[in-house]
Chains A and B, each alone.
Chain A
Amino acid sequence: MKRRNFIQQTAATGAFIGLGGLSLSFSKNNKKHITILHTNDVHSHIEPFGPNDSRNPNMGGVARRATLVEQIRAENPNTLLLDAGDIFQGTPYFNFYGGELEFKLMSKLKYDAATLGNHDFDNGLSGLLAQMPHAEFDFISSNYDFSNTILDGQTSRLKIFMKDGVKIGVFGIGIELNGLVNESLYKETKYLDPIEIATEITRILKTEQKCDLVICLSHLGYEYKNESKISDVLLAKKTKDIDLIIGGHTHTFLDKPTVLENLEGKKVLVNQVGCYGLYLGRIDFYLDNENNLNASGISIGV
């Protein structure tokens, strides 16, 4: 952290403590600012689409994404870079190198965490395990139980990041693999109910760990015609204490996050940026230290 910013922020905190919890109205500049950047379903798209591509000419490319991410980090160092799964499968890079290049590049871009998509199992548990040493970021998966598999201990149920004194809890929800992935690939991986697990993990993150922000990385899919099929929209409505769901799987191109209400009537954001690294999603959270702020009073500029 830059020394000048540090002094400014500590001075503000000092004033707050000195006044013994009196409500202060901070100007926007004094608010804490957390930036969340995200991708999903990149599907091994390392290089940009060519100028003659019929659907996405001149779009995508990891090297361009790197430039953009660095620009945003220079603007706000309190940034997390996250991925919602299906990193693997879609170009010959995956067939040739098994995901090595995808993980190495995500490490170079300093991804903080990713969750697992169904296609990340395409080379089996052993194929995924073999590439994990190339990933310098965490795999967060809360509802896959890998305890009877070779992936046991390789993923985290949840992870807490501290950025500028803001506690950010992240958990990961994967899609049911049965029927979607050959059983010989996922073996004895157990799929646990997304709503039950999300309820348990958010209680840990919010009540026990007192996280300021709770983010769910989900590969459930945005929404389904069969409305009872679990999706990000359903997860948002049937849980509490999640601030943001970063989704994947359905390759849904949202130009801005969807704002929904959770079980308690509080706002939840759901976002997804399509696929193939064509877009980078960005959510900016501005936080102040008022404990009792009514979440329904949040201004959401989306």
Chain B
Amino acid sequence: MNFRPYSILLVFLVLFACKNNAHITSSPSEINGKRFPIDNTISPDPEIEDFIRPYSNHLNATLDSTLAYNPRNLNKSDGKLNTAIGNMMADLVMAQANPIFKSRTGFEIDMVLLNHGGIRSGIGEGAVTTRTGFKLMPFENEIVVAELSGKKMLELLNYLENAKIAHPISGLELKVDGNFKTISALIREEPINTEKTYFVATSDYLQQGGDSMNFFKNPSNLYKLDYKLRNAIIDHFKKVDTLKTSIDNRYIQIL
């Protein structure tokens, strides 16, 4: 066995030379692929769990602290063309974003339009927490204000006529007929004037054409408020003791 250390050294030198000068390329002769589900048959690594724990404790304590009280279940299917939860969202965007917009531009937001699909959860009766805000709006969408021409405002109305769904609005009072065609559309109690422009608050997602809201593209002006929709929701929860919202007459069908 005396030769072994020497031969290993020799082979090692040869290998070393190979790596640095003339690496011998080889090709795979056999390849196997599979995937493993990560499920509860795998026991978690205790060291990793211990590492996560302080982060999750802090997170959960913050997420679950009560901000407000909700007296009744709210969900986005409780109304035909306007819902209590959708009205709350559109109204809180108006209330939270307008002071910021006014202080930066001197203008006021005329109306808010969000999308029905963007109401990502209901709110159960009971404690309202930061987690409620995250469930309602899990995305990072920011509030923007688009200045729309009268022509684009008509496209907006046309979009709603075709959508036939309770897209949340605030600041706009809309009456439609049995075929969802607009009977009247009032902003500040006045019919929409096609010679004017209007400041419409929405999310950056919708402004960029999300949910096919193409009328938001290429607005006369676009103002980014650097204010996340979720943060506006959470700020609203912090401001109120009890969630007060209901279905009303802002967007109704006259049969």
Contact = CB atoms under 8 A, between A and B. Distances in A.
A278 B40 CA distance: 11
B218 to A, nearest CB: 14
Contacts, number: 187
Main secondary structure of the interface of A (DSSP, over half): mixed
Interface residues of B, number: 50
A212 to B, nearest CB: 5
Given A7-B8, A271-B33, A92 B63 contact: yes
A215 to B, nearest CB: 12
A277 B19 contact: no
Interface of B: 4, 7-8, 10-12, 14-15, 18-19, 23-40, 42-49, 51-52, 55-56, 58-59, 62-63, 131, 134, 138, 140, 204, 208
A70 B45 contact: yes
A58 B38 CA distance: 9
A269 B31 contact: yes
Given A47-B56, A67-B42, A255 B35 contact: yes
Nearest to B46: A63
B15 A212 contact: no
Interface string A159-174: 0001001110000000
Nearest to A288: B29
A108 B32 contact: no
B64 to A, nearest CB: 11
A290 B26 contact: yes
A65 B38 contact: yes
Interface stretch (A10-18, A132-140, A230-238): A10-18
B29 A279 contact: no
Nearest to B139: A89
Given A165-B15, A256-B34, A282-B36, 8 more contacts: A64-B45, A96-B58, A212-B28, A277-B38, A279-B37, A281-B33, A286-B29, A300-B32
B31 A283 contact: yes
Given A63-B49, A108-B51, A299-B29, A278 B59 contact: no
Contact of B48 (A11, A108, A211, A287): A108
A298 interface: yes
B140 to A, nearest CB: 6
B63 to A, nearest CB: 6
Nearest to A64: B42
A300 B4 CA distance: 38
B25 A291 contact: yes
A295 B37 contact: no
A221 interface: no
